[in-house]
Amino acid sequence: MNYRDALLQSGDDVQISLDVSPGSKKTVFPAGYNEWRNAIECRIKSPATEGKANAEIIKTIADYFSVKKSDVVIVSGAISGQKKIKISGVSLEDALERLLGDLGE
């Protein structure tokens, strides 16, 4: 599997493609890799109503990469399970190294 396909350097930021499953029993990131969608899987406990899942995604990603919540932005897919997020202050290499370590590569 090529997790790198889910990540993209964007200036000083990194963009990550996510395949989100809201309403899960517990929040897990990263929860695997969807090779059909070239996306990192993310399970969110919150339901996909009233922006609750999106808020939890932002908090979860910020905590994971040790950045402020304001450094994490959903750039596309706000009302979809397929999202692109942008993280400021994280390089592609750092994000990839961290994800590969946690995804078992």
- pTM, entire model: 0.90
Full set of structural domains in the chain with CATH: 3-91 (3.30.1200.10)
Q: What is the pLDDT of the chain when averaged over all its residues?
A: 91
What percent of the chain clears pLDDT 90, i.e. is strictly above it?
75
Three-state SS string over the chain comes to CCHHHHEEEECCEEEEEEEEECCCCCCECCCCEECCCCEEEEECCCCCCCCHHHHHHHHHHHHHHCCCHHHEEEEECCCCCEEEEEEECCCHHHHHHHHHHHHCC
What percent of the chain clears pLDDT 70, i.e. is strictly above it?
97
pLDDT tens per residue across span 26-67 = 999 999 999 999 999 999 999 988 899 999 999 999 999 999
18 has a pLDDT exceeding 70: yes
The pLDDT value given to residue 1: 56
